[in-house]
């Protein structure tokens, strides 16, 4: 891929300083999965942007609580993650389907390809979902995830993070991002976090400790607002 300064204007991303490039060599897998030719715009059909639609039928009661439903209490620090989904003008985005997935407190996913030498927690599946309310608000209760090795480079470790997937009215409107935690010493060494070219944009990926959400003697609260477009957009994968 040519450097950003050498790209024709029509091939630059809007608000390019808020979003990562398709290829970032320190993030090794992008070398193979990034496009080698200029992108071609494919017009979306009406059915792609209008359906199938998401609604409450996709979410069961309690799906936003990752600490229940698996036969016992998971091990780890309970946390509450809350925020709003907003458009470029700061208006709330209601009825957006949010899905989250994460490693457990020991830094291991419930997935057959994760063979990290860390214990699985039989009481923690690491996934949840909910739909934003009329004010674009969401909240999840979960366990703070652990760091884990990922073999991208020598002695590579991923910071503690939670994956977020957001759907609008249809499958073609999906966005994916990651939420990190304040003060994590691994952030300066993580290529996925640092592939976002602008420092202020990277800061939008770090949740803020939130005393209003914190439940006394129970769980710390973190706030993570997601902006979908514009110069204040949250960086997306």
Task: Decide if 138 is catalytic.
Answer: no
Q: Which one of the listed residues 84, 108, 109, 202 is annotated catalytic?
A: 109
Is 163 labeled as catalytic in the residue annotation? yes
Q: Is 204 a catalytic residue?
A: no
Is residue 76 a contact partner of residue 104, using CB atoms and an 8 Å limit?
yes
Catalytic residue among 84, 129, 158, 202: 158
* DSSP result, the chain: ---GGGS-GGGSPTTGGGS--S--TTSTTHHHHS-SS-----PPPHHHHH-SPP-GGG--TTTTBTTSSSSSPPSS-EEEEEEEEE-TTS-B-TT-EEEEE---TTS--SSTT---SS---TT---EEEEE--TTSEEEEEEEPPPPEE--SSTT-EEPSEEEEEEE-SSGGG-EEEEEE-TT-TTGGG-HHHHTSS-HHHHHTTB-EE-TTTPBTTTBEEEE--EE-SSTTPPP--
| Active-site residue (options: 84, 161, 202, 204) | 161
231 CB-near residues (< 8 Å, 6+ apart): 15, 18, 88
Q: Of the residues 108, 129, 163, 204, which is catalytic?
A: 163
Is 161 an annotated catalytic residue?
A: yes
Residues with a catalytic annotation lie at: 109, 148, 158, 161, 163
């Amino acid at each position: 891929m040519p450097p950003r300064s050498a790209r024709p204007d029509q091939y630059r991303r809007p608000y390019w300083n808020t979003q990562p490039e398709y290829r970032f060599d320190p993030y090794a897998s992008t070398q193979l999965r990034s496009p080698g030719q200029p992108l071609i715009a494919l017009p979306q059909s009406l059915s792609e942007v209008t359906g199938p639609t998401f609604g409450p039928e996709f979410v069961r009661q309690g799906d936003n609580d990752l600490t229940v439903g698996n036969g016992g209490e998971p091990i780890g620090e309970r946390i509450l993650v809350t925020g709003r989904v907003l458009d470029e003008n700061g208006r709330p985005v209601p009825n957006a389907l949010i899905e989250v997935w994460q490693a457990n407190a020991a830094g291991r996913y419930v997935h057959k390809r994760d063979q990290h030498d860390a214990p699985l927690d039989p009481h923690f599946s690491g996934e949840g979902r909910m739909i934003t309310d009329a004010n674009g608000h969401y909240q999840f209760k979960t366990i703070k995830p652990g760091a884990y090795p990922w073999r991208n480079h020598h002695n590579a470790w991923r910071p503690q993070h939670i994956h977020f997937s957001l759907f609008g009215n249809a499958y073609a409107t999906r966005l994916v991002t990651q939420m990190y935690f304040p003060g994590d010493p691994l952030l300066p060494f993580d290529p996925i976090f640092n592939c976002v070219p602008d420092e202020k944009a990277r800061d939008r990926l770090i949740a803020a400790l939130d005393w209003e959400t914190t439940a006394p003697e129970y769980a710390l609260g973190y706030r993570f607002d997601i902006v979908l477009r514009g110069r204040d957009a949250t960086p997306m994968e």
